[in-house]
Structure 1
Amino acid sequence: MDAIDIARCSAPDFCDLPLGFRSPEFRIQWASGPWMRQQALALRRQVFCQEQGLFDGDDFDTIDADDPSCRLLVALSSWGAQPDEVIGTVRIHRPEPGLWWGSRLAVARDWRRHGQLGSSLIRLAVGSAHALGCHTFLAHVQAQNVALFRRLRWSVLDEMVIHDRMHALMRADLSHYPPCTTPYEGFVLADGARHG
């Protein structure tokens, strides 16, 4: 699904919206179709391989390929209330009963200043795992993102170097994340004005 390019709408009787208009709604949910999964994996490659150079070519691994508990979560921009494009993603999986991990949190470069997409993905990641019996939710967080996670009630357990970058092993305070029993529906952010 490609977005309609509003900037190319030049006939006044066809398009009365201002140039650069973007839908004010964003949906945060578990990926529910092949196009969402493909775009989420492409966004991860863009962020972790091309921008950060953490992986050579692709970050797809055995968790993505072989772990039946693995779920991709997506932040979707919308057009006319219909999902349009994956602009953020995170992955969760359960290596053992009650223990969940989050990883591969990525937001598209043009949307990082929105301010709520990453934290909303984290909220759904922990909340949906909480609904599935999570008692411990962990993540290896890059050093530059530790402050964000602390604001979201995560605590640092340890520090280490992973892929030549400093990371903190962090744990979510589950009391701050109510269980989400409808992860494929997720929730809507209605503040598109913060993009810029």
Structure 2
Amino acid sequence: MMPEPLHLFPPSSPFLPASFQIKLAVEPWERAAAARLRRQVFCTEQRLFAGDDGDAIDRVALTLVAVSLLGVAPGDVVGTVRIHEAEPGLWWGSRLAVDRAHRRIGALGSGLIRLAVSTARARGCSRFLAHVQAANAPLFHRLHWRSLAEIDLHGHPHHHMEADLDFYPPARAPETGFMTLRRAA
């Protein structure tokens, strides 16, 4: 029988940064990384789309990102959502995605949602809607959204939801957004 191998260092968890910047994507690398993350989540993991989840909305949408920070230097895009104005005053959020390794950091999804609605508010939003996967509806309810209807999209249950705009002050500088911290486990 072989002896147990000697481990000089105990096994460790994968590195997760402690801070993140949630902001409007302004750099080409941020938009490209957001598109890759969306493909990973919606095409590879969830298989909602074949190959690419891009559509005509991407040409007019604003992309928001959660960027991991290594000190003060940007690291990776670990979350994204897009928003667009469908008609004057009516805004939609869609394609909310968070990297699998970062999904337990609740501040990322909720931060992206907050910045999405607040950015739209600063641009004249009078109503903000989204189609939300049913599993994520409780998060949106906690963030002052209400379900308008339960629907089926891409073969999966979703909620047609509306944000209560009273809980979202206008974001006048979404390019810088805000910082959020990962809570220690």
TM-score, scaled relative to structure 1: 0.85
* DSSP-derived class of the 1:141 partner: strand
Separation of aligned partners in 1, 2:55 and 2:116: 19
Q: Note the C-alpha offset of 1:56.
A: 0.3
Aligned match of 2:29: 35
1:138 alignment partner in structure 2:
129
Find the partner of 1:75 among 47, 53, 66. Answer: 66
Q: Where does residue 57 of structure 1 map in the other structure?
A: 51
- Output the amino acid matched with 2:50: D
State the shift of 1:21 in Å: 5.0
Q: Counterpart of 2:85 in 1: which secondary structure? A: strand
CA distance in 2, matches of 1:142, 1:81: 34
Aligned residue pairs total 174
What is the alpha-carbon distance in structure 1 between the residues aligned to residue 156 and residue 14 of structure 2? 36
1:84 counterpart = 2:78: no
- Residue 160 of structure 2 is matched in structure 1 by 169
C-alpha displacement of 1:95: 1.1
Moved over 6 A (4+): none
The one-letter amino acid paired with 2:162 is: R
Tell whether the 8 Å contact from 1:25 to 1:81 is kept in structure 2 after alignment.
no
Q: How does 1:154-165 map to 2 (within 5 A)?
A: 154-165=145-156
Q: Is the 8 A contact 2:24 2:65 kept in 1?
A: yes
RMSD: 1.5
SS of equivalent residue, structure 1 residue 113:
coil
Which letter does structure 2 place at the counterpart of 1:154? W
TM-score (norm. length: structure 2): 0.90
Q: Deviations over 1:27-64 (max 9, x none)?
A: 00000101000100000000000000000000010111
User: Where do 5+ consecutive residues of structure 1 fail to align?
Assistant: 1-17
Q: 2:94 aligned with 1:103, yes or no?
A: yes
